[in-house]
Structure 1
Amino acid sequence: MEVGIGLPISAPELLPDWARSADAGPFTTLGLLDRLVYDNPEPLVALSVLAGATSRIRLQTEVLLAPLREPVLLAKQAATLDRISGGRLVLGLGVGGREDDHEAAGTDLHSRGRLMDRQMSVMRRIWSGAAYSETVGPIGPRPHRANGPEVLFGGFQPAALARVARFGDGFLAAAPPSWVGPLIDTVRRSWDEAGRSGTPRIVAQANAALGPQPVVDDARAAMAAYYRFTGDRADQMVAGMLTTPAAIRHTIAQYADLGVDEVMLYCYGRDPGQVERIAEAL
């Protein structure tokens, strides 16, 4: 089982410390959340900085809200980061459910899924090296992988789950072990029905905070603020945060039983010392 670290968003200046520590440890991926109308670092810019601070660990958006971005420029940005990092970019994508994000970006909340499908067709064409159109040639640079960076999709609705087989390489399962199983089964079934070879990569997500009580309190407060728009669900998510080594190991084992390939442990608390504590817990 691979284990990655989801980075806190409340202290961008500390992210290189987190990244270097994770790169030196047992972790496989660095993840970074995305919002537009929020006090968080833009993930592609931030991960570009972290690519230079690390040498081996994957760099993952989880999830980048693709409909908020113009697809040609997004394809070029992603290909650039993937190429410079030696193929370490994992482009985790979602449609975004915040009305204010879409209002600020000038996009239609109600057609965001269809927009993402069109975006993926454009980006896959650009990454392949084909001409953009009859009058516009290829758009570089070519990504490290021939067909573009690895793409994972997050979501819960049937259309989002089906998108994995249509356009992606895997599924971001941001749900607890108690109810994520049917989502994973649906993704795998859609994958087989689409005639895709191999299996989709499954990446699960859990929220964690390890350290003295102020570290845990900081994480809970930051997470509650980030998910306040969800109402009562924010309280439930905060209550489910993993705050002991035993809880982290147990949750990872549960995901392993479901055939998950990697677990991302998201840390909302700012203390970089959590990287070493989580490494010891593993």
Structure 2
Amino acid sequence: MADPSLLVEWARRADRGPISTIALLDRLVYDNPEPLVALSMLAGATERVRLQTEVLIAPLHRTAVLAKQAATLHVLSGGRFTLGLGIGGREDDYDAVGLDVRRRGRRLDEQLQRLHQTWSGSTGIGPVARPPVLFGGFADAVLDRVGRFGDGFLGAALPPPAMARLFDGARVAWERHGRTGSPRLVVQVNAALGGTADVARAELRRYYGDNPYLDHMLDSVVTTPDAARATIATYRDLGVDEVMFYCWAPDPEQVDRLAEVGAP
């Protein structure tokens, strides 16, 4: 997101394989590209790779419009879109749209009912198409949403033992709500391969500011192919379905380096 003009190049390189998914975060009071608009453009520039929000801050969006936008992107991309949802925590984002940040969890729960009604065709808003839905976050309420409304859980920022507890919580919530099969488990890992670690850490500082977990995030950036392979192996052992390497350096060569790591 440091240079949005490079996103199409990133997407085209990822589409060559074996990268499985490209994803964009959502913020309002920041200079990132708006994710649904940007992913729509990337959908037209690609044929194979999946597209994902990681995560879209749903309470900032008008519910009916979001339902229509997500369904449209899912249909026009040939079913390649996954809607990752969360509530964020930046008060300035909520101030910008006149919402109370303290009500964001309740607002998302209200939105989920309407989203699913729209995707089922009961509201008259089309197209009728439900993209896969992941929920990201750390609280028990997030895990409960996975069981009630979602297809899986997306975890980020924490070390593997803490992530393992969240994954177990998602599985428990899934069973508690009588769901069959198992939730899709996705983990996000900060990465910067090929001598770009300093650039990536500078971007992390710019984005997270005085976040109390900033030092951990800076120290845990994956910077070598061996570390990336070890990270994949660690999370595979925890039953994770997909490891998302979040690249903080804008160099499109990151895609090729990660493709080599992930190649069969």
TM-score range, shorter chain: over 0.9
2:135 pairs with 1:153:
yes
2:208 pairs with 1:227:
yes
Distance 2:200 2:52 in 1: 21
Contiguous gaps of at least 5 residues in structure 1 = 1-8, 133-137
Which deviates more from structure 2 when the two are superposed, residues 196-205 or residues 174-183?
Answer: 174-183
SS in 2 for 1:60: strand
Distance 2:119 2:210 in 1: 35
Pairing 1:24-35 to 2, within 5 Å after superposition: 24-35=16-27
* Residues 247-267 of structure 1, C-alpha deviations (whole Å, 9 max, x = no match): 111111110010000000000
What is residue 80 of structure 2 aligned with on the other side? 88
C-alpha contact 1:83 1:142 (8 A) present in aligned 2:
no
Find runs of 4+ consecutive structure 1 residues off by over 4 angstroms. none
**Residue among 165, 170, 176 paired with 2:159:** 176
What is residue 139 of structure 1 aligned with on the other side? 125
2:204 pairs with 1:204:
no
Pairing 1:251-266 to 2, within 5 Å after superposition: 251-266=231-246
SS in 2 for 1:173: strand
* Residues 92-131 of structure 1, C-alpha deviations (whole Å, 9 max, x = no match): 000110010110121111111111011110010001011x
What is residue 249 of structure 1 aligned with on the other side? 229
**Residue among 107, 110, 126 paired with 1:115:** 107
What is the deviation of 1:182? 0.9
What is the deviation of 1:178? 2.7
What is residue 198 of structure 2 aligned with on the other side? 217
Distance 2:150 2:86 in 1: 12
Letter in 2 for 1:240: S
C-alpha contact 1:208 1:243 (8 A) present in aligned 2:
yes
Letter in 2 for 1:209: A
What is the deviation of 1:229? 4.2
C-alpha contact 1:152 1:172 (8 A) present in aligned 2:
yes
Distance 1:196 1:262 in 2: 21
Identity in percent: 58
Distance 1:242 1:106 in 2: 38
What is the deviation of 1:38? 0.4
2:174 pairs with 1:191:
yes
TM-score by length of 2: 0.97
What is the deviation of 1:190? 1.0
TM-score by length of 1: 0.91
Pairing 1:45-56 to 2, within 5 Å after superposition: 45-56=37-48
The number of aligned residues is: 261
* RMSD between superposed Cα atoms in Å: 0.9
The one of the two structures with greater contact order (alpha-carbon pairs below 8 A, sep at least 6) is 1
C-alpha contact 1:176 1:206 (8 A) present in aligned 2:
no
What is the deviation of 1:211? 1.1
Distance 2:223 2:17 in 1: 20
